Amino acid sequence: MIKPIFITKVMLRNYKSIGYCDVSLGKLTYLVGANGSGKSNFLDALHLVRDALSGSLDNALNERGGLSEVRRRSSGHPTHFGIRLEFSLATTGQPGYYAFTIAALAGGGYEVLTEKCVIQGAGKGTFFQIDRGRLQGSSETVFPAVTADRLALVAASGLTAFRPVFDAFTHMGFYNLNPKLMRELQKPQEGRLLKPVGENIASVIGHLERLAPDRLTLVQQYLQTVAPMVHGVERKQVGPMETLEFRQDMVGAKHPWRFLAQNMSDGTLRALGVLAALFQGNRDYSPTLVGIEESETALHPAASAALREALTRASEETQVIVTSHSPDLLDDLNLSADALLAVVSEGGETRIAPLDPASCDAMRQRLFSAGELLRLNQLAPDPAALAAQQQRQADFFGEIEG
Ligand SMILES: Nc1ncnc2c1ncn2[C@@H]1O[C@H](COP(=O)(O)OP(=O)(O)O)[C@@H](O)[C@H]1O
Ligand SMILES: [Mg+2]
């Protein structure tokens, strides 16, 4: 069965550098724009939802420097930020949305102004709405106690009706791989889900060895196309710790040489991290969405084609979002303009939209690849789409529009 796209639409208000955005996502989205344009901030809004639900809202905000850093700083002094994610549930295909706004309190601290979760279906559907810690309405006959400083979906996940939404959001994975940490000896862990900078990569590879050798084979095959010298990788115990061991060709040697992660290049480690993030799903655990920062960093431009193929292949099973400012990664005439969202900063404010029609045409007619357009500084968001976003400023808690 082909899984539906999990997150179909993202609306953000006053999230870091993003004043307002309202964009649709497909199975694979390249967020493209210059350094500092706001690509990471967009991905971070989704990451915050994951963090706030799997841990606590307080922690998620604190990890980001507190509400004052998360809320957009601008001359208008916005007092609150908002996130609305429209989704489609893999289990039932039901559409729905989850939205909340969070405001600063006068004396410090914050409160959840409104939080609403709606799962559309037969009849009235399933929903709850909470305003400032007070339950306004719910489809359920009982509802757990709620407070204004937490997201109620955490408590509501105890109810079967809301569990699938909670599970889907907490199964999103976000990655900004760090070869330095991937190289260090790692404490053996469960390894079901790759952690954000790859700090448990050895456990994840070990987990795949045991549970999903076919997935590991896939990772190894792509790794070899990205880094042709590398023939394989496995988890290796070192005393009470663990690391990765790579098999690599050596000129004149009869058998491949074995290298520990410590001696592998940044590019190879990062590529392995990206591939593990993309293909880690197995019958035990599957991410609903994988977001990857600058997946091409430290990779040879010639490896871009293999990376693109891996991204496309992975997106058949898991929704994928990647940020990129690399023309090399986008140098492919087959890359559809629909897969791209252009990100720009206008006077410090991030604007995000599909490409303008002229660029789309040039790509459709195969005159230019997205990479060439990026090199020419021609990858701009569609002004008409931006104006439409600005004009609509749709209600964060309103029904899903067709
Ligand atoms: N709370 C905030 N209000 C306004 N701007 C912010 C806020 N937090 C971060 N920024 C701005 O966001 C920009 C960085 O965005 P980022 O998403 O990291 O860019 P990219 O990933 O595209 O390189 C910086 O210019 C920074 O000043
Ligand atoms: Mg970034």
Token readout for 41 is 């901030």
Tell me if 163 CB under 6 Å of ligand 1.
Answer: no
The strand order across the sheet containing 257-260 reads 230-238, 241-248, 257-260
Tell me if 41 CB under 6 Å of ligand 1.
Answer: yes
So what's the pLDDT on residue 298? 80
Tell me if 73 CB under 6 Å of ligand 1.
Answer: yes
Q: Pairing state of beta strands 289-292 and 241-248?
A: unpaired
> In the predicted model, is pLDDT for residue 385 greater than 60?
yes
Q: How far is the CA of 369 from the centre of ligand 2 (A)?
A: 22
Tell me if 297 CB under 6 Å of ligand 1.
Answer: no
Q: How far is the CA of 366 from the centre of ligand 1 (A)?
A: 33
Work out the pLDDT band at 267, boundaries 50, 70, 90: very high
CA distance 209 to 32: 34
Instruction: For ligand 1, atom 6, name the residue with the nearest CA.
Output: 17
So what's the pLDDT on residue 295? 86
Percent of the chain whose predicted confidence (pLDDT) is above 90: 82
Residues 366-377: tens digit of each pLDDT: 999 999 999 998
Q: Which of 224, 319, 236 is nearest to 275 (CA)?
A: 224
Please give the number of the atom of ligand 1 that sits closest to the Cα of 33: 22
Question: C-alpha distances in angstroms, 318 versus 5, 136, 218, 294?
Answer: 8, 35, 15, 18
CA distance 168 to 287: 8
Residues 57-94: tens digit of each pLDDT: 999 999 999 999 999 998 887 889 999 999 999 888 89
Question: Looking at residues 159-182, what average pLDDT do you find?
Answer: 97
Tell me if 173 CB under 6 Å of ligand 1.
Answer: no
CA distance 122 to 116: 19
CA distance 152 to 147: 8
- Name the burial class of residue 191, with classes exposed (0-12), middle (13-18) and buried (19+) by CB atoms within 10 angstroms of its CB: buried
Q: How far is the CA of 211 from the centre of ligand 1 (A)?
A: 40
Q: Name the residue of 37, 41, 44, 110 whose CB sits within 8 Å of the most ligand 1 atoms, as the mutation to test its pocket.
A: 41
70 alpha carbon, distance to own chain's centre: 17
Q: Which of 43, 67, 71, 72 is nearest to 57 (CA)?
A: 67
Token readout for 231 is 């023939």
Q: How far is the CA of 36 from the centre of ligand 1 (A)?
A: 6
Instruction: For ligand 1, atom 25, name the residue with the nearest CA.
Output: 36
Tell me if 69 CB under 6 Å of ligand 1.
Answer: yes
Q: Which of 265, 287, 267 is nearest to 278 (CA)?
A: 287
Tell me if 200 CB under 6 Å of ligand 1.
Answer: no
Q: How far is the CA of 370 from the centre of ligand 2 (A)?
A: 19
- Mean residue pLDDT of the chain comes to 93
3-state DSSP helix/strand/coil % of the chain, to nearest 5: 30, 30, 40
So what's the pLDDT on residue 32? 96
Q: pTM for the complete prediction?
A: 0.96
Instruction: For ligand 1, atom 20, name the residue with the nearest CA.
Output: 36
- Give the type of residue at 309: E
Ligand number nearest to the C-alpha of 297? 2
Cβ contact 234:223 at 8 Å: no
So what's the pLDDT on residue 233? 96
Residues 6-24: tens digit of each pLDDT: 999 999 999 999 999 999 9
- What's the number of CA atoms in the CB half-sphere (13 Å) around residue 348? 7
> In the predicted model, is pLDDT for residue 130 greater than 60?
yes
CA distance 339 to 317: 16
Please give the number of the atom of ligand 1 that sits closest to the Cα of 71: 1
Ligand number nearest to the C-alpha of 38? 1
Q: Which of 114, 118, 123 is nearest to 88 (CA)?
A: 118
CB atoms under 10 Å from CB of 35, counted, come to 9
Token readout for 257 is 């040489």
The SS3 call for residue 143 is coil
- Give the type of residue at 20: Y
Q: How far is the CA of 323 from the centre of ligand 2 (A)?
A: 7
> In the predicted model, is pLDDT for residue 2 greater than 60?
no
So what's the pLDDT on residue 234? 96
